[in-house]
Structure 1
Amino acid sequence: MEVKITQPLLPLRDIVVFPSMVIPLFVGRDKSITALNEVMKGNKKIVLVTQKNSEVDDPKKNDIFSYGCESNVLQLLKLPDGTVKVLVEGIKRVKIIDFKDDEKFISSSYEYQKETLIKDEDLLPLALTAVRRLEKLNSINKKISTETINNIKQLKDPSKIADNIASHLNCTISEKQQIFETLDIKKRLNSIIKIMENETSIIGVEKRIRGRVKTQMEKTQREYYLNEQLKAIQKE
């Protein structure tokens, strides 16, 4: 039987935090700030759960996803405008069991989620394939720093490789959350590879279309210029 753990909960807008991910968050809602102040008094652990709709200001249980990330608050800085900047590190996947809103802040009971892996199956080759797909995609869109790519290449754990790549994917929050909730590491890696291949293909198509449009525009401009020259010659 899984042990239930209770910690304050921080609902997130437009971001999914994965295990091993370190990221700054800017927090402005009163309940969220109170929750952060509460965890700073103790073990500095908080549950980060993404909202289904980022426009909901006071989310209830049905407004957040059922899976989140137990995280450590590494640093908290109160800003002059009353908001708070926190540096958090994702630790473990959890499933939300109970949701409690006492008007001061939100807390939740949750259970840790175990990843699934077929015994003796080596997923490192598949993970390295995902890394190569990321490098290929990044050579086109240039959205990830070289340092980040190199850090991912140094990882040897297929699960951590998958999570690090997933956190940088250019996809919808629902797609990213679906990847987060995929406990089967092999399926998670395959989903990530498919998303990157699709994006690479789309970028390639867009590039070819832009190339054709540019060529056509240049041709039209040349024809217009020649026609104007002919008109000028005929007038003379």
Structure 2
Amino acid sequence: MNKSDFFPTLPLRDIVVFPRMIVPLFVGRDKSIKALNEVMKTNKKIVLVTQKNAEKDDPTEKDLYSFGCESKVLQLLKLPDGTVKVLVEGLDRVKILECRNDKDYLATSTEIIKDKIDSPQEDVLALSTALIRKLEKVINVNKKISLELTTNIKQQSNPSIIADHIAGQLNISIFEKQKLLETVDLKVRLEKLMEHINNEMNVISVEKRIRGRVKNQMEKTQREYYLNEQMKAIQRELGEIEDGKDETAQLQKSIIKAKMTKEATKKCLSELKKLKSMSAMSAEATVVRNYLDWMIELPWNNKEKQIEKISIDEAKKVLDQDHYGLEKVKERILEYLAVQKRVGKIKGAILCLVGPPGVGKTSLGKSIAKATGRKFVRMSLGGIRDEAEIRGHRRTYIGSLPGKIIQQMKK
């Protein structure tokens, strides 16, 4: 091909055609169809160049890459919808020297670029052989690449043809394929192909590991589901659970609905898992079920008035309305509330009201609750000798209950 000649050119979207590569193309643009009609009148040779931006409908010289492929049209078929299906074969790697867009179609002046071989022939042949072997390994694990490709490549002895065949079939980006087309040095092109194939092998091995993990997880989940269903069927036969009533499922819904803390939810779900594997009539199952019932019924998400929103003036007014005198006591209570409001936390000292019966200790407690917008709970500790009554019993005992504080919170 002479430098002065202008040949019809077909801009391509999302594909790079390499020499000796046979590929079908669907053509729909008017200029491209006219270019094909023009070459069919002559020697059927056309220049194929990839666009930098596939969305451009009417590309100019700056929208095309500087390297393309001189190709020959093997077959042309006009479809009913107006588009044209064409089968082309790449012939030679060409460099675009000049682009002309003044006719009905795009035409370019090109120069054929031959492969540059600076390395010894033995090195290039050894590299191409290693590339074929590596490709065979990829094809064994990746079914996306055709097995016929390896058969065709093995019949070739020219490293340039081998490199172009492999480059056309690799699952890499258009930009990377174009860089391979523009690489004139044959040894460098073979090395780049080896790098791409190694990357493909790494990706395939990672995908295989991920698929294996997912498969194992799915099998484990299916196994657990199957065993749970079997256990439920056995329990129904034994009369331990009634049809349509799955206690564990209801408990799980209640645990999530209670909006507990992260740690409490984790603990409750762990206990529920234990409960599933227990017989409903066992003593231990009763203990676990009672524990879960108490945890669900506690007011986890019910928040009273914030300490920062308490009005000290309102608290003073409430204390004066409910009690006459007791100035030092009321002053200490207001100091305590003021500090709590300032700090913004409930942690700190606890008020202890000491005095004989009837002096107003309980009524002062009620007034503090009223002033702070909280519920007042009276808990008598008279006659209690065991601290478990306050803290709660250990769950190892049958009939164990939480302490008085938790019981009052539940109420």
TM-score between both structures, scaled by the size of structure 2: 0.54
**How far apart, CA to CA, are the structure 2 residues paired with 1:225 and 1:148?**
45
Partner amino acid for 1:55? E
Which residues of 2 match residues 76-225 of structure 1 at below 5 A?
76-118=76-118, 120-122=120-122, 123-225=124-226
Q: Deviating runs (4+, > 6 A) in structure 1? A: none
Deviation for aligned residue 1:147:
2.5
Partner amino acid for 2:148? E
Gaps of 5+ in 1: none
**How far apart, CA to CA, are the structure 1 residues paired with 2:120 and 2:191?**
18
Say yes or no: does 1:50 pair with 2:57: no
User: Which SS does the other structure have where 2:96 is aligned?
Assistant: strand
Gaps of 5+ in 2: 242-411
Identity %, equivalent residues: 59
- Higher strand share goes to which structure? 1
Superposition CA RMSD, Å: 1.8
State which drifts further: 207-216 or 104-113.
207-216
Figure out how many residues of one structure are paired with residues of the other and give that number.
235
Say yes or no: does 1:16 pair with 2:16: yes
Pick closer, same or farther for the CA change 1:227–1:75 going to 2, 3 Å. closer
Higher relative contact order (CA 8 A, sep 6+): 1
User: Which SS does the other structure have where 2:34 is aligned?
Assistant: helix
Deviation for aligned residue 1:194:
1.1
Task: Report if the CA contact (8 A) 1:24-1:85 is conserved.
Answer: yes
State which drifts further: 96-105 or 149-158.
96-105
Deviation for aligned residue 1:64:
1.2
Partner amino acid for 2:177? K
Q: For residues 55-88 of structure 1, what are the alpha-carbon distances to aligned partners after superposition, in whole Å with 9 as ceiling and x for unaligned?
A: 2111111111110001111222222222112221
Deviation for aligned residue 1:103:
4.9
**How far apart, CA to CA, are the structure 1 residues paired with 2:16 and 2:102?**
25
Q: For residues 138-187 of structure 1, what are the alpha-carbon distances to aligned partners after superposition, in whole Å with 9 as ceiling and x for unaligned?
A: 11111233333211111000010000011100011001111111111111
**How far apart, CA to CA, are the structure 2 residues paired with 1:210 and 1:179?**
32
**How far apart, CA to CA, are the structure 1 residues paired with 2:74 and 2:166?**
22
Partner amino acid for 1:211? G
- Higher helix share goes to which structure? 2
**How far apart, CA to CA, are the structure 2 residues paired with 1:229 and 1:20?**
62
Task: Report if the CA contact (8 A) 1:77-1:85 is conserved.
Answer: yes
Q: For residues 95-145 of structure 1, what are the alpha-carbon distances to aligned partners after superposition, in whole Å with 9 as ceiling and x for unaligned?
A: 111111125100011111121101543211111111111111111111233
Deviation for aligned residue 1:224:
4.0
User: Which SS does the other structure have where 2:169 is aligned?
Assistant: coil
Partner amino acid for 1:127? S
User: Which SS does the other structure have where 2:69 is aligned?
Assistant: strand
Task: Report if the CA contact (8 A) 1:4-1:111 is conserved.
Answer: no
Partner amino acid for 1:179? L
Partner amino acid for 2:45? K
Match in the other structure for 2:345: none
